[in-house]
Chain A
Amino acid sequence: MYQINRRRLLGSSAIALLLNSGTTRAAMVKGGLPWKPGSADPPAAVTPDGWRCFTPQEGRTVEAFVDRLIPPDPETPGGKEAGCAIYIDRQLAGPHGRFEGHYMSGPFQKGTKEQGPQSPVTPAEHYRTALTALDKVCRGKFGKAFAELSDEQKDETIKGLEDGSLKLEGTDGKEFFELIVKDTQKGFLADPVYGGNKDMAGWKMIGFPGTHYDYRDWIDRHNQRVTLPTVSIGMHPNWSQSR
């Protein structure tokens, strides 16, 4: 994962020189464009080795969930094989799982729909609460955890969350459904460097050629399929860093 604040640290590539002590300490730019080699910040490639946020049970549940949201078909993998659960896990383990960058000062009050999200519950906390509650409600209804249900039972459960008829203890089932659907889609279609969209399966399915950056040969070729090979940041070892 890249670190959000890295480029904002004092001492980064931006500084041309610092003024003498006794005056202001700032990233000062004077006398030319600042430049320091090696200061770019490519994304770190996710490696699919275990969970960083989920417990093994939570991981199993999320894998089962994403595979129903995006089921496999003869042409394209489903959410599980595409790595959607790994994507979600790595995101929740990082800054986005903790709402880093959000305005998190109180008082927290629920407002109108137009005023946007106001909850202090972070995505990581939300998943934790929802996945526990989901297994509990499935055990109560079917005698098994979500991951052990049949496909029909899983779909029935998901539909219940979607229409609000199935309640989850400690959280809003419908809100959780909307969150996991969005996250699963991101896992399916974001750059593979983030752990999902394995082998660019999502991009190949829709016909998006990926991270090409020069379509000057194609802008005039109207109504023609672009025949370039699909590429991503994640596929080229020089374009990302492993951590």
Chain B
Amino acid sequence: MARKLARKDAVVIGLGWTGSILSHQLCEAGLDLVAIERGPWCDTATDFPISYAQDELRFRLQHELFLRPAQISVTFRNNAGQQALPVRTWGAFMLGNGAGGAGIHWNGETWRFLPTDFILRTHLTQRYGTSFLPEGMTIQDWGVTYDELEPCYDQFEYLCGTSGQAGNLKGKIQEGGNPFEGPRSRPYPTPPLKQGYGHTLWAEAARQLGYKPFPQPAGNMSQPYTNPLGVTLGPCTYCGFCEWFGCANYSKSSPQTTILPVLTRMGNFEARTECEVTRINLDRSGKWATGVTYVDSSGNEFEQPADLVILCGFQLFNVQLLLLSGIGKPYDPSTGEGQIGRNFTHQTISTALGFFDKDKFNFNPFVAAGAIGMCIDEFNGDNFDHGPLGFVGGGYLGQVQTNGRPLESMKLPPGTPAWGLKWKQALRDNYLSTLNAGAAVHASFYSYRDNYMDLDPTYKDRFGRPLVRLTIDFHENELKMSAWLTDKFAEIVQHMGAREVVKHPRKAPYSITEYQTSHLNGGAIMGENPGNSALNKYLQSWDVPNLFVQGATAFPQNAGYNPTGTVGALAYWSAAAIRSQYLKNPGPLVHA
């Protein structure tokens, strides 16, 4: 029997990026708030200090900072004709664990989506006609526009200290920035990062081919920065132990380096860590949340009543919790009915390797940061004419090589044996002169009727609750797009003077073993009406008005950019609506 605790104004589930932003915003508004976090408390000096953070085996290969599948996992199948099996060790994506969530281990790549990304269905059908979209593609408009979100993108970037070069200031294109980006109201808070030899050469080659390269916007500080909350970040040192690792320099944007020092000092804030929320509780009508039930690390069950529930877990677990709590209608792919679980997407990643003459090229791959790199955006979104090409979607291309960690970065020319003296020689001869950007082509993954999430019928978590089941595969559209974009990237690498270029376009079937970013999206998407979405434009549940669901769960489809910038912007957007409208008059904010 769960022990009932004293009521709080708000309970926040999860203390990653969105949990930290929402907690801070609502505590600032005076709410008595508790954040409940499944993982442990986490901080720089105790979990990734400068004396041992640089450990590839421990943090990159043995995943110490990440959630353990033993605690909770998911099941996976490519299609409904297969039985889904558990993910016993992570592969295709990696999940954060503890306070800070993925904000601890991310690269820091901080992009905005394009204005057309938010009105994707309208835009594409207007330009190419409805029949241009493949059968079974379920892309939608978001219900919110880029212009509405712009101040929130700005707010998140200034929270983070994002280092970049503006490309479009209030409609005026700026030299050296991304000429395709949506208009921004002011420059980035800090200048762009410096670039290494490989990144610089690639940009030069891209320029020669007629493209407009620009530095990737980075949550790695190009200089010391104090944010509007008064929290200070240090300068990035290009250490090459960024993504998958915590930053020992306080120079990567994370909840730890931007919000938590202030949030934890607010008298009306409390965090309970190592506590897992197992259910969002509803009243008898099923249309109002009464709080949450959670289990602490001793296995005791508690009920935390609250007037307002903010679900800030990672996308996969947000959807699992909605399904387990009976919120909304579960999606059924055979009928197309139900909103919870549909439009599940990932990211379409590919690359081309460049092997260079070691006597002429030394890239020092270990001198790098998580969001270092030079990129071009000519082939993202609908920035180019898809008419003759027979696919929709796109992505940025970039020399975004982030490290020279010896095991992870080991890429040898085709034909190299897997062992022996020739292997050893090839490793010796190629380590410093190989262009190896894992996500060089970072492209969209649109939504389809048959890619979805539901509850697994067989496999359970440690509480005996069904794991969430992923049914996902690549469609022809994304494969065609990937091949075409990879060719474009390879051309630039060739033009740099590579001895040999090896293309690795994305191929089907989708594999759960190969890392493809952790950009999972959808399952409780936002939209204009409850007939085609789970959340309204403020991320408020259509079904349960005192529940707001943050994160990439809301994305109706994924664009050709890393999602965190947009996740942060939506969090501020949602928080503003709660503060200015909801708290004055609790109830539905949109009447559709």
Which A residues form the contact surface with B (CB < 8 A)?
A: 2, 4, 7-8, 10, 12-15, 23-35, 39-43, 68-71, 73, 76, 96, 99-105, 107, 109, 111-118, 155, 158, 162, 181, 184-186, 189-191, 194, 202-203, 205-216, 218-220, 222-226, 233, 238-240
Contacts of B56 in A (CB 8 A): 189-191
| Least CB separation from A34: chain B residue | B41
Contact A226 B364 (CB under 8 A): yes
Q: In residues 60-118 of chain B, which contact A (Cβ within 8 Å)?
A: 61-64, 68-70, 73, 76-78, 82-83, 85-89, 91, 99
Contact B264 A30 (CB under 8 A): yes
17 example contacts (A-B, Cβ-Cβ < 8 A) are as follows A7-B40, A14-B40, A27-B274, A29-B41, A32-B265, A33-B264, A43-B52, A68-B420, A71-B420, A109-B83, A116-B85, A162-B419, A185-B410, A189-B56, A215-B367, A226-B367, A233-B51
Known A7-B47, A155-B420; contact A103-B87, beta-carbon cutoff 8 A: yes
User: Could you tell me the distance between the alpha carbons of A206 and B275 in the complex, rounded to whole angstroms?
Assistant: 45
CB distance from A197 to the nearest CB of B (A): 9
CB distance from A225 to the nearest CB of B (A): 6
Known A42-B51, A155-B420; contact A109-B200, beta-carbon cutoff 8 A: no
Contacts of A96 in B (CB 8 A): 62
Contacts of A99 in B (CB 8 A): 88-89
Contacts of B50 in A (CB 8 A): 213
User: Could you tell me the distance between the alpha carbons of A189 and B366 in the complex, rounded to whole angstroms?
Assistant: 14
Contact A10 B52 (CB under 8 A): no
CB distance from A71 to the nearest CB of B (A): 5
Contact B196 A40 (CB under 8 A): no
Contact A103 B86 (CB under 8 A): yes
User: Could you tell me the distance between the alpha carbons of A88 and B4 in the complex, rounded to whole angstroms?
Assistant: 49
CB distance from A8 to the nearest CB of B (A): 5
Q: Of A8, A210, A219, A222, which is in contact with the most chain B CB atoms at under 10 Å from its CB?
A: A219
| Least CB separation from B361: chain A residue | A223
Contact A8 B513 (CB under 8 A): no
User: Could you tell me the distance between the alpha carbons of A233 and B361 in the complex, rounded to whole angstroms?
Assistant: 29
Which B residues form the contact surface with A (CB < 8 A)?
A: 3, 5, 39-43, 45-47, 49-58, 61-64, 68-70, 73, 76-78, 82-83, 85-89, 91, 99, 194-197, 200, 235, 237-241, 248-249, 260-261, 264-265, 267, 269-275, 296-298, 300, 302, 361-362, 364, 366-367, 404, 406-407, 410, 418-421, 423-424, 427-428, 431-432, 458-460, 509-513
Contact A31 B431 (CB under 8 A): no
User: Could you tell me the distance between the alpha carbons of A26 and B269 in the complex, rounded to whole angstroms?
Assistant: 15
Contact B85 A109 (CB under 8 A): yes
Contact B271 A101 (CB under 8 A): no
CB distance from B288 to the nearest CB of A (A): 23
User: Could you tell me the distance between the alpha carbons of A208 and B432 in the complex, rounded to whole angstroms?
Assistant: 8
CB distance from A146 to the nearest CB of B (A): 15
Contacts of B62 in A (CB 8 A): 96
User: Could you tell me the distance between the alpha carbons of A99 and B73 in the complex, rounded to whole angstroms?
Assistant: 15
Contact B235 A216 (CB under 8 A): yes
User: Could you tell me the distance between the alpha carbons of A107 and B457 in the complex, rounded to whole angstroms?
Assistant: 12
Contact A25 B296 (CB under 8 A): yes
Q: Which of A10, A28, A155, A219 contacts B194 (CB 8 A)?
A: A219
Known A116-B88, A116-B89, A207-B432; contact A43-B512, beta-carbon cutoff 8 A: no
Q: Which of A2, A23, A29, A70 contacts B424 (CB 8 A)?
A: A70
Known A10-B298, A103-B88, A213-B249; contact A111-B83, beta-carbon cutoff 8 A: yes
User: Could you tell me the distance between the alpha carbons of A211 and B403 in the complex, rounded to whole angstroms?
Assistant: 12
Q: Which of B53, B240, B274 contacts A26 (CB 8 A)?
A: B274
Contacts of B235 in A (CB 8 A): 216
Contacts of B272 in A (CB 8 A): 24, 26-29
Contacts of A39 in B (CB 8 A): 46
Which 8 A-B pairs give the minimum distances between C-beta atoms?
A: A14-B41, A222-B197, A103-B69, A206-B431, A26-B272, A101-B68, A190-B57, A189-B406
Contact A225 B362 (CB under 8 A): yes
User: Could you tell me the distance between the alpha carbons of A100 and B78 in the complex, rounded to whole angstroms?
Assistant: 27
Contacts of A206 in B (CB 8 A): 406, 427-428, 431-432
Contact A203 B406 (CB under 8 A): yes
Contacts of A8 in B (CB 8 A): 39-40, 274, 297
Contact B68 A181 (CB under 8 A): no
Contact A219 B264 (CB under 8 A): no
Contact B89 A102 (CB under 8 A): yes
Contact A216 B237 (CB under 8 A): yes
Given A13-B41, A96-B62, A222-B197, list of 18 further CB < 8 A pairs?
A4-B68, A14-B42, A24-B3, A26-B273, A26-B296, A42-B51, A76-B424, A105-B459, A111-B82, A112-B509, A114-B513, A116-B88, A118-B86, A206-B431, A208-B366, A211-B54, A213-B53, A239-B52
Contact A118 B88 (CB under 8 A): yes
User: Could you tell me the distance between the alpha carbons of A71 and B511 in the complex, rounded to whole angstroms?
Assistant: 34
Contacts of A208 in B (CB 8 A): 366, 404, 406, 431
Q: Of B58, B76, B82, B239, which is in contact with the most chain A CB atoms at under 10 Å from its CB?
A: B58
Contacts of B302 in A (CB 8 A): 24
Q: Which of A29, A69, A113 contacts B511 (CB 8 A)?
A: A113
User: Could you tell me the distance between the alpha carbons of A100 and B423 in the complex, rounded to whole angstroms?
Assistant: 31
CB distance from A199 to the nearest CB of B (A): 15
User: Could you tell me the distance between the alpha carbons of A29 and B273 in the complex, rounded to whole angstroms?
Assistant: 8
Q: Of B39, B46, B61, B420, which is in contact with the most chain A CB atoms at under 10 Å from its CB?
A: B46
Contacts of B89 in A (CB 8 A): 99, 101-103, 116-117
Contact B419 A68 (CB under 8 A): yes
Contacts of B87 in A (CB 8 A): 103, 116
CB distance from B197 to the nearest CB of A (A): 4
| Least CB separation from A232: chain B residue | B54
User: Could you tell me the distance between the alpha carbons of A117 and B196 in the complex, rounded to whole angstroms?
Assistant: 38
User: Could you tell me the distance between the alpha carbons of A155 and B418 in the complex, rounded to whole angstroms?
Assistant: 12
Contact A33 B58 (CB under 8 A): no
CB distance from A172 to the nearest CB of B (A): 16
Contact A103 B274 (CB under 8 A): no
Known A10-B297, A30-B264, A215-B240; contact A23-B70, beta-carbon cutoff 8 A: no
Contact A181 B418 (CB under 8 A): yes
Q: Which of B200, B432, B513 contacts A116 (CB 8 A)?
A: B513
Contacts of A4 in B (CB 8 A): 64, 68
| Least CB separation from B201: chain A residue | A222
Contact A191 B57 (CB under 8 A): yes
Known A155-B420, A189-B406, A205-B427; contact A31-B86, beta-carbon cutoff 8 A: no
User: Could you tell me the distance between the alpha carbons of A8 and B54 in the complex, rounded to whole angstroms?
Assistant: 21
